[in-house]
Amino acid sequence: MEFSASMQSAFSTAEVTGAGYSKIGDHEESIMSDDGPLANELHLLKLGRWQWWILVVGNIFFLIAGQAAAVLLGRFYYDQGGNSKWLATLVQTAGFPILFIPLYLMPSSQEASVSPSAPSFRILASVYFFLGVLLAGDNMLYSTGLLYLTASTYSLICASQLAFNAVFSYYLNSQKFTALILNSVVVLTLSTALVAVNDDSEGPAGVSKGKYILGFLCTLGASALYSLLLSLMQLSFQKVLKKETFSVVLEMQIYTCLVATCVSAVGLFASGEWKTLHGEMESFGEGRASYVLTVVFTAVCWQVCSVGVVGLIFIVSSLFSNVISTVGLVVTPIASVMVFHDKMNGVKVVAMLLALWGFASYIYQNYLDDSKARRMLLEVDETRNDSVC
């Protein structure tokens, strides 16, 4: 699924004030420090509230529309005769050069933070290589899952990534396990379990029950691996990169996608699937031109989604980006019903409602964190005013 379901970073909870936007770190001393997260994002304070909301809404649209379109195009590719899992894996990251556009448009003067202890090239390359290989393996699992599942079932299972993310964040990133987060984990687990035990669950036409189970397990495993990847990325920002600027987040996205693309290309040629691509194109249900356009626009849509992911991480927070990705996963089953006429029986509807419940728990926890951050910011302002007086 590439980075669509929400790329995690070291950015912490968001805070919106009357003058614009500012981030509050995990530790109160980071607010008081001139080189903390707050200082790194000072240029966002120049935005008015309505300008900030325009950016947020725009990035939400990029994320949800890009993710839903990419999943539907991936299912369309398989439905029309495509059968290369490695090609489906490759297109999830092959469009990464598109990300150079926002990187180029970001003025260097706005990147205020420079880490006093920048990692060496060897360490940086090792981090990007390791994360890129994990990303390629994760995308392969997602591609296998989508091959054997309908788009609606696939998306409902993918919603379990929030639950996995909470668990990995607890162990790797010291994220607090609140009652709301625990509720979300339990509800999302029940949602996935309902899809698993649903007797009426079936894959696309011609897919046996055994392959359906394989697709289910691959998608569930991909969601777990992706959540682990998010936590490892956040850990990399905190322990290795030690910077929290837009360009650093985007560079992480670009270089890990580059590695994942290379690994996927090697897999495509090593597996021999590249020999079948010409035959796929010739026999594609909607014709050769449609085949090429499907592959190209799938790659583009994943990167449009990535722009929204990175934008929300920078403008709001990694958690907010993650929950919006989950909203997209709930939107996709509805879109698949309209486009592919997927069956939405009662169990799937209940599973979707449970996924929304789990999502709402995450959102409410985010709201509580924001309120706490707002109070913290007001206390800091009052302390500074008192010290000036």
- What pLDDT is attached to residue 198? 67
Residue 58: inside a domain: yes
Q: What residues contact residue 181 under an 8 Å CB cut-off, 6+ apart?
A: 166, 175, 361, 362, 365
Structure tokens at 152: 């609606």
User: Residue length, the chain?
Assistant: 389
Answer yes or no: are the C-beta atoms of 247 and 314 closer than 8 Å: no
Domain count, the chain: 1
Q: Which residue do the tokens 């998306």 mark?
A: 155
Residue 120: inside a domain: yes
Q: Which domain holds residue 259?
A: 14-388
Cα distance between residue 57 and residue 67, in whole Å:
15
User: Left (φ > 0), alpha (ψ -120 to 50) or beta: where does 228 sit?
Assistant: alpha
- In degrees, rounded to 5, the angle at the alpha carbon of residue 314 between the alpha carbons of residues 114 and 360 is 145
- What pLDDT is attached to residue 86? 96
Residue 4: inside a domain: no
- What pLDDT is attached to residue 270? 96
- What pLDDT is attached to residue 49? 67
Residue 363: inside a domain: yes
- What pLDDT is attached to residue 47? 58
Answer yes or no: are the C-beta atoms of 284 and 82 closer than 8 Å: yes
Residue 129: inside a domain: yes
Distances (CA, A) of 359 to 76, 128, 146, 161, 366: 28, 30, 22, 11, 11
Question: b/e map of 337-354 (b: 16 or more CB within 10 Å)?
Answer: beebebebeeebeebbeb
Cα distance between residue 16 and residue 64, in whole Å:
22
Cα distance between residue 321 and residue 313, in whole Å:
6
- What pLDDT is attached to residue 311? 78
Answer yes or no: are the C-beta atoms of 313 and 9 closer than 8 Å: yes
Burial of 106 from C-beta contacts in 10 A (0-12 / 13-18 / 19+) = middle
Residue 179: inside a domain: yes
- The pLDDT tens digits along the chain (389 residues) read 654 433 443 333 333 322 233 333 333 333 333 333 444 444 454 556 677 778 888 888 998 899 889 999 999 999 999 999 999 999 999 999 988 887 777 655 444 444 556 788 899 999 999 999 999 999 999 999 999 998 888 888 887 887 787 788 788 877 777 888 788 778 877 887 777 766 555 667 778 888 989 999 999 999 899 888 878 887 888 888 877 567 787 888 899 999 999 999 999 999 999 999 999 999 999 999 999 999 999 999 999 988 888 778 777 766 677 667 777 767 777 777 778 777 777 777 888 888 788 878 877 876 787 677 777 877 776 777 767 66
Q: Which residue do the tokens 């990251």 mark?
A: 93
Residue 115: inside a domain: yes
Residue 1: inside a domain: no
Q: What residues contact residue 151 under an 8 Å CB cut-off, 6+ apart?
A: 71, 72, 74, 75, 332, 333, 335, 336, 339, 340, 342
Cα distance between residue 359 and residue 365, in whole Å:
10
Q: What residues contact residue 272 under an 8 Å CB cut-off, 6+ apart?
A: none
